[in-house]
Structure 1
Amino acid sequence: MTDLHLAFRLPHGPRGIEIDLTLPDPGLTAIFGPSGAGKSSILRAVAGFERTGGLIRYSGETWEDGRAFTPPHRRRVGMVFQAPRLFDHLDVEGNLTYAARRAGCLNEVRPMADKFGLTPLLARKPATLSGGEAQRVALVRTLLSRPRLLLMDEPLSALDTASRAAILPLIEQLRDEAQLPILYVSHSLAEVARLATRTIALAEGRVQAQGPTAGVLSDPRAARAFGAEEPGSLIEARYAGTEPQGLCRLSLPEGQLILPALQPEPAPGEMLRLVIRARDVMVATIPPLGLSALNILPARVTALTDLDAASVDVQLTAAGTALRARLTRRSVETLKLAPGAPCHAIVKSVALARD
């Protein structure tokens, strides 16, 4: 059993941070929320950089319980920061060798450099690297330290679009192949939607929602954590090819979506994650005509949840997948929507969780 259990209160802002949760392994768990929510403070506590006075347990070991405290070097936790923090006086190979020597795995330096595309950079000093290259070196150096748990503190936030696009597949590869538990802090909805198997939505030092990412992204209780990034539906679709006039098709279990052509073009049959915000879904009780929307899906209402005095969260099954729409109470009453009612979902906008 390698669950990570956190239960503590940290001074942070006017109310502090209160955490009590258990995270199962493996996979990538994202801590998502606005700046100042306390995300990085949680990582620092798990790494042992900050005492909490509470309880932190991992893999059956007590790292902190208010009396005992395990120092960072004995926790075998690897941490990747926003800034790479490489040794400037060493070249890339020297940085990797430093971590590998301490972990007793010098024979892994060259294979890891090859695997992550660092071989051409081995003789270069950190000052000559781009931001994306330096962050890739920092990630591999951390892996060569053989951590039991990998912490990543907004590792892409300082990178440009091209550098992020190069590193995201590496993080996906780690998530899928390394069997290494990852705790990943981000304020980017696109990153969370693409990478996370589980998500903790954090706002004002409190957990608003937690669980599988698709459920958290659609949970109205997470609204404070998302802020302007309103929760919606996280769905998977298979790339099915191009259409005329610069469009492409994505296959759903019982239908398809039409989107503007994607660049770079995905591989045939590649599975993609999509985010559809609740405010970008309209509902009609009869097939609508004369609309510019390309995606009109047969649907059925599965549940209705009151959000406030004026708004209702309408849960739908459309084309074999779950969608959510945020409607006014007046619209729900006018359309006579109820669980089981047939309808049509008009999807106005789809965001690809790709960068």
Structure 2
Amino acid sequence: MSEIYAKFCIRHEGFTLNVNLTLPAAGITVLFGHSGSGKTTCLRSMAGLEEFEHSYFSIGDDIWQDSERSLFVPTHKRQLGYVFQESGLFPHLSVNDNLLFGFKRIPESERKISLDSMTKLMGIEHLLERMPHQLSGGEKQRIAIARALLTSPRLLLMDEPLSALDMKRKQEILPYLEKLRSELSIPIVYVTHSVQELARLADHVVVFENGSIIVSDQANKVMSDPRFESVFGSEVGSIFDTTVLEHREHNITALDANGVTILAPKHIGDTGERYRCRILASDVSISLREPVDTSMLNRLPVEIIDIRQPQIPNGHELLVLQFDNGQRLLANLTAKSCHDLELAVGKKVWCQIKSVALS
């Protein structure tokens, strides 16, 4: 599989950004970090919107930037799509004409996706005759994404595309972004400071802090690593990619997470369909014995493999739990509970999961 390679050393206006990344040229890579951490500058450098003295950027065999050879391919000649925080639709053109604007400029032999299939994928068939002022914020962003993809890019860059939307519109558009990941082979680099977006979308995650990269790895590994508790704060937790195993009585769906069965309190999907589960550390509790007479659906045996205390004591400890198959789950417990239960590394216990978020 081809890879994306980015190396940028940027110093300007009191800010330094050091990037040396090798990323998978497939799925969604999320650049995550607080405002001012360097993630958007990195994305703009990938797009060729920033040119610096020490830089290199390539995707597969295509080199778009190499300062040592004085090579710089300008943005308009890079085979990429870019989606900004604002949709940037042409106000005087209908939705259909906005979509055709870039599509018509791509030779037929180079088109990777048709107009019809893209409008269906993004759920915008009924909007084609409307003007931009007649659209909601979520609809505008779906059309902006479709327009970018209709240029048949080798790479899609997205700079906080949901940040200008309210929560309702964000929830409306996230399923469409998940469909892009599963149905298209175009790699996506996605900038956000939202843990929810990261948890739902990311295959790979790069965490930025003060212009440096503190980790670049698979999303499920990063989110279940206790070293990054301070990065995710109260939203620290674990993600599991699961498959629908079966439907049970009382509207229960059993999901298979690589040998671990997780129960969801609703009927979802068909057998074999894939869902991502997110479990917050604050939604996991511990029992020394198998719980009985409890309302919690998920009661699973685990082993404690690490106990982390925060750098600044706050009365809580973060436990790293491991299933028999090696998958990890985080649990946030009070220090008193850990003391009273005599919890220690190597101890086998039962975890109870209060809530499972599905996407």
TM-score range, shorter chain: 0.7 to 0.9
Q: Aligned to 1:285, which of 244, 264, 288?
A: 288
The answer to whether the Cα contact below 8 Å between 1:34 and 1:227 also exists between their aligned partners in 2 is no
RMSD of aligned C-alpha atoms?
A: 3.1
User: Sequence identity, in percent?
Assistant: 35
Alpha-carbon distance between aligned partners in 2 of 1:12 and 1:224, rounded to the nearest angstrom: 28
TM-score, normalised to structure 2, is 0.82
Partner of 1:235: 240
| CA gap 1:35/1:349 in 2 versus in 1, 3 angstroms | farther
Alpha-carbon distance between aligned partners in 1 of 2:260 and 2:135, rounded to the nearest angstrom: 47
Question: Does the alignment pair 1:216 with 2:222?
Answer: yes
Please report how far the alpha carbon of residue 90 of structure 1 lies from its aligned counterpart in structure 2 after TM superposition: 1.4
| CA gap 1:204/1:108 in 2 versus in 1, 3 angstroms | same
Which runs of no fewer than 5 residues in structure 2 stay unpaired?
Answer: none
Alpha-carbon distance between aligned partners in 1 of 2:191 and 2:340, rounded to the nearest angstrom: 41
Alpha-carbon distance between aligned partners in 2 of 1:43 and 1:54, rounded to the nearest angstrom: 16
Alpha-carbon distance between aligned partners in 1 of 2:92 and 2:105, rounded to the nearest angstrom: 18
Alpha-carbon distance between aligned partners in 2 of 1:150 and 1:225, rounded to the nearest angstrom: 26
- AA of the residue aligned to 2:93: L
Question: Does the alignment pair 1:337 with 2:339?
Answer: no
Partner of 1:57: 57
The answer to whether the Cα contact below 8 Å between 1:201 and 1:222 also exists between their aligned partners in 2 is no
Counterpart mapping for 1:1-355 below 5 A? 2-11=2-11, 15-58=15-58, 59-60=60-61, 61-65=63-67, 67-105=70-108, 108-230=114-236, 232-238=237-243, 240-241=246-247, 244=250, 248-252=252-256, 253-257=259-263, 259=265, 261=266, 266-269=268-271, 270-288=273-291, 293-301=296-304, 303-304=305-306, 306-308=308-310, 313-318=318-323, 321-326=327-332, 331=338, 335=342, 337-339=344-346, 341-352=347-358, 354=359
Please report how far the alpha carbon of residue 28 of structure 1 lies from its aligned counterpart in structure 2 after TM superposition: 0.9
Alpha-carbon distance between aligned partners in 2 of 1:343 and 1:32, rounded to the nearest angstrom: 33
SS at match of 1:26: coil
TM-score, normalised to structure 1, is 0.83
- AA of the residue aligned to 2:141: Q
Alpha-carbon distance between aligned partners in 2 of 1:336 and 1:169, rounded to the nearest angstrom: 39
The answer to whether the Cα contact below 8 Å between 2:226 and 2:308 also exists between their aligned partners in 1 is no
Q: For structure 1, which segment, 249-258 or 183-192, has the greater mean C-alpha deviation from structure 2 after superposition?
A: 249-258
Please report how far the alpha carbon of residue 141 of structure 1 lies from its aligned counterpart in structure 2 after TM superposition: 1.1
| CA gap 1:157/1:241 in 2 versus in 1, 3 angstroms | farther
SS at match of 1:37: coil
Alpha-carbon distance between aligned partners in 2 of 1:132 and 1:287, rounded to the nearest angstrom: 45
| CA gap 1:13/1:350 in 2 versus in 1, 3 angstroms | farther
- AA of the residue aligned to 2:178: E
| CA gap 1:273/1:110 in 2 versus in 1, 3 angstroms | closer
Alpha-carbon distance between aligned partners in 1 of 2:146 and 2:291, rounded to the nearest angstrom: 53
